Structures are given as structure tokens and as C-alpha cells.
């Protein structure tokens, strides 16, 4: 418990110290955000705001997770696996951001280039989990305390899930402080779940230690995002960019899969799912009705914005909804 609190506190302090020093560098390098022209008109004032700030909390999360890491478990160590999936996912986002802000190509990576990168990361991590002696092909069903063995379908199903969730996190990052706030709540719940399971006595000592290391990583991410909110809340001084959103997406799905709880993402990642499904529903409805829209704009947080809600009101609403569903996720175990 002490290590968890220290990882949280150190991450927050580190971000508060790093932020004021990194922001001027991002401005000098002209790493400014290119605002989507078809987005809400109120967002045009954000043009040029420094982006790629996700590098800050990603670095803090990884370093703090390693510093407070407990016993090491070699190739089976959950922290090493989380570092891989989070940083590899972030790398795809970093390249996308780099092309946007440095090469001045607004759309960044072509969609198939991004998907190829994500497929490689997803397949490698899914294979790792499938072959891991403490993970395997079985997933836990929430509330029913039973397991579902996906067998040979585990790798393709989990790979598809990873790609979907990482892109869902990317879609969620559309308002100042939105994804950062949701991440604080969601990652806290992953830490609590990992602690409950590790202390249940139903698993081996080595696996319990792995769960505790996962909880440390989760709290380091919480602290990093709390500190980042100092600069990312409305009106944002810096955006996390695809660099940060894909790091978060990779971290969330990584924690879920290592704990054999990908189905629990229905609760812990409820707002991320809402963003993706609102886009899917909007596009299907648009095609079926030959040009009509069910939402004023998607993802759905922009719909709420165009309905008159302020960015802060939407962030608070999302945070509350996320907290309610995270409590359900915790109760489900």
C-alpha cells in the first residue's frame, strides 16, 4: 500500500515539476495542434496549442512504475508487458503526431499505416498473454465468477479488441481534460481491482506480486494524469495528442488482458466505448438515411458541446459516469 501511495504522489509531483519546463520546449519546436476544420467552431481558438504532451505523463508513469516495482518475475513480469504494450501503442501515436506537427500533414498517418502498426502491437501482446502461464486463453465473466475459455480464438479476438480500444481512447481525446479525467478514474479502478484480487488468497504468491506491480503501474498513471490536468484542463495549455491517448489506450487494455478481465472494460472504459459507438452509429445512420444525422456531431462529447454544455460540464459528467461504472466493475469481482 505504501508503494502505491508513493507512486501516486511522486508521479503528481514529477508532472508538476516537468510541465513548466517542457511546455516552452514544445512551443519553441512549434509542436502546435492543427484543429480539425469540421470540428466545433469554438475549437478554432485552440489552433497552435502545444501538443504531444502525452510524452510527459508516459515517461513519468514508466519511470515511477519501475522505481517502485516489487519483485521481478522475468519474462512473465506484468510491468514489463505493460511497458511494452503502452510504449509500442504510443509509438504509433507519436509517429502520427510527428507527421501532423512537423511534416504539416494534417491527417497524419494514412489510416492503413496506423492500422498496420496497431495490428503488429496487438498480435504480439495477445500472443504474449496467450502463452503467459498466468493468463492464457481464459477470460473472467463479470459478476458470475466463471471463466470463458476462448481457445484458439483468443489471439484474433483480443487483437481486434486492442485495436478497437486504443482507437476509442484516441476518439475520447476531444475536449480539454476529458481523457485525462476519465483515465484518473479508470486507472484507479484497475489498481483497486488488482489489489483486491492479489489479497484474496485465491492466487499464488508470485501472481499476487505481479498484480501488485500492476496496481503500482496503474497508480503511477493516475498520478501522471492528475499532474497533467494542471496543464490540460480547460483552457488547455497543452494537449496529449495521439501520443498520449494511444499510450493510455494501450495501458488500459494491457491491464485488462493481463488480469484476464477484458470484458470488464465494458464498465471501466464505458466512456471510451461511448465515443466509438457514437461514431459508428452516426456513420451508419448517415448512410441509411442518405445524409441525416442522429447526433449533431460525433464523437458524442461534441454533440453535448453543440447542445450548449461547456467543456468543463461535459468533463464532469463523463467523470461521474465513469466513476459509477467503475464501481460496478469493482463490485463485479
**Locate cell 438515411: which residue?**
289
Cβ burial of 224 (10 Å; 0-12, 13-18, 19+) is buried
Percent helix / strand / coil, the chain, rounded to 5: 70, 5, 25
Asked if 246 and 169 count as a contact pair (C-beta separation under 8 A), the reply is: yes
Asked if 241 and 85 count as a contact pair (C-beta separation under 8 A), the reply is: no
pLDDT for the residue numbered 63: 97
Q: What is the mean pLDDT of residues 41-51?
A: 72
pLDDT for the residue numbered 36: 58
Q: Please, what's the b/e burial string for 138-164 (b: 16 or more CB within 10 A of its CB; e: otherwise)?
A: ebbebeeeeeeebeeebbeebbebbbb
pLDDT band at 104 (very low <50, low <70, confident <90, very high): low
pLDDT for the residue numbered 41: 62
pLDDT for the residue numbered 120: 97
Q: Which residues pair with 141 in a beta bridge?
A: 146
pTM: 0.94
Mean pLDDT check: name the lowest of 29-33, 140-144, 300-304, 315-319. Answer: 29-33
pLDDT band at 204 (very low <50, low <70, confident <90, very high): confident
Cα separation, 114 vs 161, in Å, equals: 16
| Concatenated DSSP letters of 193-226 | HHHHHHTSSSS-HHHHHHHHHHHHHHHHHHHHHH
Mean pLDDT check: name the lowest of 28-32, 51-55, 124-128, 220-224. Answer: 28-32
Amino acid at each position: 500500500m505504501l508503494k502505491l501511495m508513493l507512486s501516486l504522489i511522486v508521479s503528481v509531483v514529477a508532472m508538476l515539476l516537468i510541465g513548466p519546463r517542457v511546455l516552452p520546449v514544445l512551443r519553441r519546436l512549434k509542436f502546435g495542434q492543427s484543429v480539425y476544420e469540421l470540428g466545433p467552431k469554438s475549437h478554432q481558438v485552440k489552433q497552435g496549442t502545444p501538443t504531444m504532451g502525452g510524452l510527459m505523463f508516459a515517461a513519468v508513469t514508466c519511470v515511477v512504475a519501475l522505481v517502485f516495482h516489487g519483485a521481478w518475475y522475468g519474462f512473465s513480469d506484468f510491468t514489463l508487458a505493460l511497458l511494452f504494450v503502452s510504449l509500442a501503442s504510443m509509438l504509433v501515436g507519436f509517429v502520427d503526431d510527428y507527421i501532423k506537427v512537423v511534416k504539416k500533414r494534417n491527417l497524419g498517418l494514412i489510416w492503413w499505416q496506423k492500422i498496420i502498426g496497431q495490428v503488429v502491437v496487438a498480435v504480439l501482446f495477445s500472443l504474449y498473454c496467450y502463452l503467459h502461464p498466468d493468463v492464457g486463453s481464459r477470460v473472467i465473466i463479470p459478476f458470475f465468477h466463471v471463466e470463458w475459455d476462448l481457445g484458439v480464438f483468443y489471439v484474433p479476438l483480443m487483437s481486434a479488441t486492442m485495436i478497437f480500444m486504443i482507437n476509442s481512447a484516441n476518439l475520447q481525446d476531444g475536449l480539454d481534460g476529458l481523457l485525462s479525467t476519465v483515465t484518473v478514474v479508470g486507472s484507479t479502478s484497475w489498481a483497486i481491482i488488482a489489489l483486491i484480487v492479489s489479497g484474496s488468497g485465491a492466487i499464488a504468491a508470485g501472481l499476487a506480486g505481479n498484480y501488485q506491480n500492476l496496481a503500482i503501474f496503474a497508480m503511477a498513471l493516475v498520478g501522471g494524469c492528475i499532474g497533467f490536468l494542471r496543464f490540460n484542463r480547460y483552457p488547455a495549455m497543452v494537449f496529449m495528442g495521439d501520443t498520449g491517448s494511444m499510450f493510455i489506450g494501450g495501458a488500459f487494455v494491457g491491464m485488462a488482458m493481463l488480469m484476464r478481465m477484458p470484458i470488464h472494460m465494458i464498465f471501466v472504459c464505458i466512456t471510451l466505448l461511448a465515443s466509438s459507438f457514437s461514431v459508428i452509429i452516426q456513420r451508419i445512420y448517415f448512410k441509411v438515411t442518405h445524409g441525416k444525422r442522429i447526433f449533431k456531431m460525433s464523437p458524442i462529447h461534441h454533440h453535448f458541446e453543440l447542445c450548449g454544455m461547456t467543456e468543463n460540464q461535459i468533463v464532469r459528467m463523463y467523470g461521474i459516469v465513469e466513476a459509477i461504472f467503475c464501481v460496478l466493475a469493482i463490485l463485479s469481482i
